[in-house]
Amino acid sequence: MMMKYKLFTGICCRLYSASIVSMNGASHRHFCSSFLTDISSPETTVTVGSQTYARDEMTNVTPHILSKVGSNLHNRKYHPLNLLKQRIRDHFYKNYVKPRGNPIFTVVDDLPPVVTIEQCFDSLLTPKDHVSRKPSDTYYVNKDHVLRTHTSAHQSDLIRMGCDQFLVIGDVYRRDTIDKSHYPVFHQCEGVRLFTERELLISKFSEQDMEGLTVFEQGPRIPAKQAPHTQDAVVLLEADLKWTLTRLAHDIFGKDIETQWVDCYFPFTHPSWELEIKYKGEWLEVLGCGVMEQEILNEAGAGNKVGWAFGLGLERWAMKMYDIPDIRLFWSQDSGFLSQFKVDDANTPIKYKPVSVHPQCYNDISFWIPDNYTENDFYDLVRGLGSDMVEQVELIDNFTHPKKGQTSHCYRITYRHMDRAVHQEEANKIHALITEAAINNLAVEVR
């Protein structure tokens, strides 16, 4: 018989009400990890975060995929996706401001990933037979709900709420192939910018030159434009969109980045483009974008405005930015990976250095330090004795006794070799040598 699983996750949410997760009768607000529990009841429901949904014939989410929900890598301190999110957010905050200096873009990064079919597909004019709706491509919670396949799922709601410029950052889910640049859970940043006729024209023309120009007309729908838009409107929107994204790419990757625009199709934009960048000698698609379908704006109550939208894949940008060779690394719990991104300033340049494929093992050492002690003396001592076997030494506790005034340090030493496995017994032997040398050479008092 199949095991029944219940997934508990807490998803911190700003626009929706904050979720409260109940475990063993207790309430936990903002409980941010996820785990699976055997509930041994007939498999009639599926629980994602604080919500329980009725299972039906469409349900195809797996415990493995559900275990990723609530990870929120983009909101995890010191994670590369979080550093990139900060860079993108700061770019928009800094460069797009109202006359008094406050940012025009609203940033939303905590919307839960379960959305309705209406949000994910219908509101975006996705045809009923479009491949993205197929259960072969999409994780269905049930026939009415999916794990969002893209952050575009929130466009309509936010516009209806009155947002004219916004970024939505979140985890998205697809039954996609797995290779170096594809993963079934990844993260997107959506961007939307709406303009009234006047706002769009004034961005390029003086008050006099604007006269006689319009953004709306009733013309034919052709490859270059939608029926209700003028050619002028599309030229201005395309220029503004591509300029905005090129400027972002230059800020994140530097001015030397090689880019190219490719025409493409999305049900929710027309015309549409993809941006590709050179990555390890090949073109890599890093975002999709276009002029928003006017029908979407009309339906969301913004029919007097025109707009552009884009959706970029955070992992692909981070791979290029940090030289990360494989998309699976973003899910690594390995301190050899994570410690490379432990910076308080997101602008710190980082180039990822590959860590060993062999497992880590670690031992802690605690001692009272003498007056003339410096941390670097200890690091040198470890380097000398551990050489290639030591991957990292981290001060994990720094404590001063309130009465004695004596200070104790606890270090975690992570043992791992680049080329071969290090077993715990071998690590223990080196650790014993390090302990002995610390006592003899640095005059520390082991606790």
Binding site residues, ligand FA5, CB under 6 A? 150, 152, 174, 176, 182-183, 186, 188, 190, 266, 269, 272, 285-290, 309-313, 315-316, 327
Do residues 88 and 189 lie in contact, with contact meaning Cβ atoms separated by under 8 Å?
yes
Residue number, 35 or 96, with CB nearest to ligand FA5: 96
Residue number, 131 or 343, with CB nearest to ligand FA5: 131
Output the smallest distance, CB 389 to ligand FA5, in A: 35
Output the smallest distance, CB 311 to Mg ion, in A: 9
Q: What is the strand order of the sheet 140-142 is part of?
A: 114-116, 145-147, 140-142
Q: Contact letters (x/-) for Mg ion, 231-270, by CB under 5 A?
A: ----------------------------------------
Residue number, 182 or 278, with CB nearest to ligand FA5: 182
> Six-digit token pair at 205?
């023309």
At position 171, the amino acid (one-letter code) is D
> Six-digit token pair at 363?
């031992």
| Cβ neighbours of 252 (radius 10 Å) | 16
Q: Which does 182 bind (CB under 5 to 8 A by kind): ligand FA5, Mg ion, none?
A: ligand FA5
Q: Which does 119 bind (CB under 5 to 8 A by kind): Mg ion, ligand FA5, none?
A: none
Output the smallest distance, CB 369 to ligand FA5, in A: 47
Alpha helices (H) in 323-416, listed in sequence order: 335-338, 375-386
> Six-digit token pair at 172?
């998205």
Q: Which residues contact 345 (CB under 8 A, 6 or more apart)?
A: none
Per the DSSP assignment, residues forming a β-bridge with 259 are 277
Residue number, 229 or 316, with CB nearest to Mg ion: 316
Q: How far is it, in rounded angstroms, from Cα 47 to Cα 5?
A: 8
Per the DSSP assignment, residues forming a β-bridge with 312 are 189, 287
Q: Which of positions 288-307 make contact with Mg ion (CB under 5 A)?
A: 288
Instruction: Calculate Rg over the CA atoms of the chain.
Output: 26
Residue number, 59 or 149, with CB nearest to ligand FA5: 149
Candidates 49-57, 143-151, 195-203, 287-295: pick the segment binding Mg ion (CB under 5 A): 287-295
Q: Which does 289 bind (CB under 5 to 8 A by kind): ligand FA5, Mg ion, none?
A: ligand FA5
Output the smallest distance, CB 201 to ligand FA5, in A: 23
Output the smallest distance, CB 171 to ligand FA5, in A: 11
Q: Which does 320 bind (CB under 5 to 8 A by kind): ligand FA5, Mg ion, none?
A: none
Residue number, 275 or 389, with CB nearest to Mg ion: 275
Q: Could you give the 3-state DSSP secondary structure of residue 220?
A: coil
Q: Which does 173 bind (CB under 5 to 8 A by kind): ligand FA5, Mg ion, none?
A: none
Residue number, 168 or 413, with CB nearest to Mg ion: 168
At position 216, the amino acid (one-letter code) is F
Residue number, 186 or 195, with CB nearest to ligand FA5: 186
Output the smallest distance, CB 183 to ligand FA5, in A: 5
Rounded to 10 degrees, the C-alpha dihedral 201/312/301/111 comes to -140
- Look-up of token digits 């949000």: 119
Residue number, 113 or 288, with CB nearest to Mg ion: 288
Q: Which does 114 bind (CB under 5 to 8 A by kind): ligand FA5, Mg ion, none?
A: none
Output the smallest distance, CB 154 to ligand FA5, in A: 11
Exposure string of 342-378, with b = 16+ CB inside 10 Å and e = fewer, is eeeebeeebebeebbeeebbbbebebbbeeebeeeeb
DSSP, residue by residue, 127-142: -TT-GGGSTTTS-EEE
Query: Beta 26-29 vs 145-147: how paired, if at all?
Result: unpaired
Output the smallest distance, CB 274 to Mg ion, in A: 6
Do residues 158 and 166 lie in contact, with contact meaning Cβ atoms separated by under 8 Å?
yes
Do residues 55 and 144 lie in contact, with contact meaning Cβ atoms separated by under 8 Å?
no
Output the smallest distance, CB 81 to ligand FA5, in A: 11
Do residues 429 and 361 lie in contact, with contact meaning Cβ atoms separated by under 8 Å?
no
Output the smallest distance, CB 147 to Mg ion, in A: 18
DSSP, residue by residue, 220-260: --BTTB-TTB-HHHHHHHHHHHHHHHHHHHHHHH-TT--EE
Residue number, 127 or 384, with CB nearest to Mg ion: 127
The residue sitting closest to Mg ion, measured at its beta carbon, is: 288
The residue sitting closest to ligand FA5, measured at its beta carbon, is: 313
Candidates 19-27, 89-97, 226-234, 284-292: pick the segment binding Mg ion (CB under 5 A): 284-292
Q: How far is it, in rounded angstroms, from Cα 370 to Cα 107?
A: 49
Binding site for Mg ion (CB under 5 A): 288
